[in-house]
Structure 1
Amino acid sequence: MAAPTSEPGTFAVTYRWGLPLDEAAIAAVSELTCHLLKGCSPGSSCGCKVNRNLTRLVRQGVEMEMPDPTLIYSEGRTGLPMADMWLAMVNPYRLTSPSRVYSPDFRRPRVQQWP
């Protein structure tokens, strides 16, 4: 068991967990991770913990309009530009589960049920 895997008579298991990410996916995950880490630290100002009930503000001639967070989250978006662009690129129809293909030629395995 202590011998390298290239030696005869040794045993090795190689597995792959997921697929390698491209640069756009790494940038999107990095943006989301940074945003979440900023929100989890004490004294943060990223807005993760803020429950905004305000969508429009007008004061002294300055107008600000903020997106409704419930609308953003209900559409399956994060509110972060790079993460949302990547999600739209890899899942343009906003599917909630992987697609499936059924074939009439494929025999399903027999399932035995006990009485």
Structure 2
Amino acid sequence: MDTLNPAVTGVAVSMATEALWSLTGQRFGLCEVALRPCRKDCHGGSFFDDFGPPWTGGWSYPQPALIGGQWFNLTCGSCSGDCSCTSVSEVLLPAPVLRIVEVKVDGTPLVTGAYRVDNNRLLVRTDGGQWPRCNDLALADTEAGTWSVTAVYGEELPDGAALAMGQLACEIAKAADGADCKLPAGLQQLVRQGVTISYPDVGELFREGRTGLYLVDLFVSTWNPNRLRTRSRVYSVDRPTVRRAGT
């Protein structure tokens, strides 16, 4: 690789990256996302659907709720979880969250110990405070009256990815440079001096999600044995709990 033109090796690495990402069902890779949470009340909304909106000051009428066989009068922000008798201030983030980079309230970052992540998606306040009820989306998250969560999504590359990536990038680079490579060509059979050599069907290989390279195919079959085209996703028709800033 060191003897090849850097432009060729750059294209080879880019092609190998995209090919492996696609062959493994678009599973691996990290993305840092800035979220602007919009708080959702603990009640189901039927009370106000029947009797009108809440008070303009941001607080609602007490809402009766049946929890564990007992009736409780809940006001906004006082909803307790199934495992706790006390109020838990939490916000639901798109799952799964790999890690939290930063949480800002009124433009000021919170210390790491002020929150935690449960179930890879529940951002729980642990310093005794409450997550803000309002989030002024017309302002940047550096201003008062706003809050934001910067989170990393995706899945880290496993150790075998480096070997598969190296083999595929090297063979692509050699092919681009006009040298012999191990990538299968369109040739299926070669007869020379009475010897017949058969080659795998390139179209069939690609349809099965294989390349003909041992390390690459071993990596792909390990992490995408069912040959998925993309990651599985679940969509909710309910209103969103967060907004991705700027997208």
Normalising by structure 1, report the TM-score. 0.63
1:37 Cα deviation after fit = 1.3
**1:101 Cα deviation (Å)?**
4.3
The structure that is helix-richer by fraction is 1
Once the 2 structures are TM-superposed, how far is the Cα of residue 60 of structure 1 from its aligned partner? 2.3
- Match in the other structure for 2:222: 89
Post-superposition offset of 1:47: 6.6
Q: What secondary structure, in the 3-state scheme, does the structure 2 residue paired with 1:58 have?
A: strand
Question: Structure 2: any 5+ residue segments left out of the alignment?
Answer: 1-107, 110-149, 241-247
Q: Deviations over 1:60-105 (max 9, x none)?
A: 2312000111111121212211111110100100011112346xxx
Larger radius of gyration: 2
Q: What is residue 238 of structure 2 aligned with on the other side? A: 108
Gaps of 5+ in 1: 1-9, 111-115
Indicate the residue corresponding to 2:168 in structure 1.
Answer: 32
Which residue, out of 78, 92, 98, partners 2:211? 78
Q: Which residue of 1 is the match for residue 80 of structure 2?
A: none
Q: Match of 1:44, as an amino acid?
A: A
Q: Which residue of 1 aligns with 2:6?
A: none
Across the two proteins, how many residue pairs are aligned to each other?
94
Distance 1:15 1:100 in 2: 19
Pair 1:107–1:16, CA change in 2 (3 A): closer
SS in 2 for 1:37: helix
Q: Which has the higher contact order (CA 8 A, sep 6+)?
A: 2
SS where residue 191 of structure 2 aligns? strand
Provide TM-score, normalisation by structure 2: 0.32
Structure 2 residue 198 is matched with structure 1 residue 62 = no
- State whether residues 171 and 182 of structure 2, in contact with CA within 8 Å, keep that contact through their aligned partners in structure 1: no
Contact kept in structure 1, 2:164 and 2:215, CA below 8 Å = yes
Q: Distance in 2 between matches of 1:27 and 1:101?
A: 32
Q: Which amino acid in the other structure matches residue 158 of structure 2?
A: D
Q: Does 2:44 match 1:44?
A: no
Question: Greater strand share, 1 or 2?
Answer: 2
Task: Name the CA shift for 1:51/1:28 in 2 (closer, same or farther; >3 Å).
Answer: closer
